[in-house]
Amino acid sequence: MGEIDRTWAPEFREYTEFIAAHSSYEGLFIERNKDGNLGWVVTGKSAKGKRREAWWAQKMQELNARNKAEVARRIHPTGKHVCQCCGREMSIFYEYPNNRTCKRLNVILKESVQPADYTIREIIENNASDAHIISGIAEIFSVKTYDSPQNLIEIIYKRHVATESGLLSPGVMSNPPDRFDGFHSDGLCCRSKTDKGRHKDNMKTYTQDRRAYEEWADGNYNLANRLMGEFSKGTQKYQCPQCNKMRKMSADHIGPISLGFCHSIYNFAPMCKSCNSSKNNRFTKSDVDALIDIEKRGETVISWHSQYIWDALKGTITDDETAKKLSNIMVTCHQNVLKLFSVIYQQVGEEFLMHYLHPEYSKFDYRFENFNPLNLSTLKINETELDSANKRSNSERVVRIAFEALKEFDKKDNRRTKFYIDVESPEFRDLISVIQGQSFEEADAVIKKYIASLTQTIIDEEWN
């Protein structure tokens, strides 16, 4: 189901005129529609959309920004966006407690606060005289020391708002170049009402693991995301296989995608959220055994780029200590693969690497029967092919996030990783030459051979 009533509120109409005339957006394409309104929305792949895309790309380069979303926030003249539907003005920054944070806040506040009601600053200021509430808010945001409510605000804004923390949400989502100002037309205040695809009942069944795109993980990400949402959908409690306590289950990746494993339904095991969180990326002998058993059933558990390291060492794991050693070397290999992709992206562009992404997975919708988190073998999957704006948008999002991750790779703190790629070597130059001049099939064979050689070098250096 798509969006409904999109009538422009008077305040939004005034906002569009102000933004379009502002010097921050000088040179960005815009025109008026037949009804006199500014052509606020364009399709990204249209000729008009490409003109806007070029402008945003240039701005990103000028500002040395991580992505277009950062550009949209940095150049915005007021930091406040007006909702197209209701005319409400909301911050463009990550200042609003999200659903999960609101649940914790409501226990302390003893009232029902929704994500769009107040910024975290307003909540603290409104309750500044209640030391118990302020202390509870500090605990939620892991602030152990603060001098006053105002000081707590400063710390939270530095640690969480500025870093776009997972505890907070922006008042409006960004999406340049489709909207002129780089933000969705409807704000956090109305998005769940105007977009039926985001109604709470629907959203409970859908969880997206952004890491799968950033890590270039294999697997049907759309199906995996849907199944993750199914885990969080219900309220029934089960006995956790790890701690034996009766709790709601979550989907744990048996093989962490940060090690090169797939984001797929075959890589999931039930675990309560507490055990899942404490496990983090730890890798045990039982995890290795479970993944080998899954492979024996004919399922794929490892991404193509990490197949060599997995096949070379999985049979040598005898205990948790060697499993931990395997996880460490797999991290190194995976980081080197991402480094390789990053350099290829810089030197060659997107076309070749696009073959390793599968945005077509987004074109399908999934519903489940006989879901039992403790026994996924009984699961029946119903697949439906759909062509909707939401599906196309998610397909584009997957590609965007994947390449943004490569673009930002060298900006990350990778001091703990040793990189074995020599971009000046004849082998690497030959690789780039083949990618630029040969068919994908020929280039694919060469890059797999290069990764196998690279992986063997890492094994010789760090395993033996």
User: Which of the residue ranges 15-29, 293-307, 310-324, 401-415 would you say has the lowest mean pLDDT?
Assistant: 401-415
Predicted TM-score (pTM) of this structure? 0.59
pLDDT in tens, 387-428: 766 667 778 888 988 998 898 887 665 557 899 999 999 999
CA distances from 435 to 18, 348, 429, 443 (A): 47, 8, 10, 5
Strand boundaries in 104-171, DSSP class E: 168-170
C-beta of residue 180 within 8 angstroms of C-beta of residue 20: yes
Does position 223 have pLDDT exceeding 90, yes or no? yes
Please confirm whether the linkage preceding 115 is cis (ω < 30° from 0): no
The angle that helices 320-348 and 285-296 make with each other, rounded to 10 degrees, is: 70
Calculate the CA dihedral of residues 198, 201, 202, 208 and round it to 10 degrees.
Answer: 80
pLDDT of residue 318: 96
pLDDT in tens, 251-269: 889 999 999 999 999 999 9
Helix (H) or strand (E) holding 174: none
Length of the chain, in residues: 464
Whole-angstrom distance, CA of residue 97 vs CA of residue 114: 8
Does position 83 have pLDDT exceeding 50, yes or no? yes
Half-sphere exposure of 410 (CA within 13 A, CB side): 8
Half-sphere exposure of 378 (CA within 13 A, CB side): 7
Whole-angstrom distance, CA of residue 308 vs CA of residue 311: 5
% of the chain exceeding 70 in pLDDT: 91
Q: Cβ contacts of residue 56 below 8 Å, gap of 6+? A: 68, 71, 176, 177, 182
**pLDDT class of 207 with cuts at 50, 70, 90:** low
Whole-angstrom distance, CA of residue 363 vs CA of residue 352: 22
Strand boundaries in 292-407, DSSP class E: 364-369, 380-385
- Name the nearest CA neighbour of 227 among 197, 270, 261, 277: 270
pLDDT in tens, 430-463: 999 999 999 999 999 999 999 999 999 999 999 9
Top pLDDT among 86 and 194 is at 86
Specify the amino acid at residue 107.
Answer: V
Does position 133 have pLDDT exceeding 80, yes or no? yes
Per-residue tokens: 135 = 């202390």
Cβ atoms < 10 Å from Cβ of 166: 11
Does position 197 have pLDDT exceeding 50, yes or no? no
% of the chain exceeding 90 in pLDDT: 58
CA distances from 343 to 96, 130, 223, 339, 358 (A): 37, 53, 30, 6, 21
User: Which of the residue ranges 81-95, 234-248, 316-330, 401-415 would you say has the lowest mean pLDDT?
Assistant: 401-415
* φ, ψ dihedrals at 431, nearest 5°: -60, -50
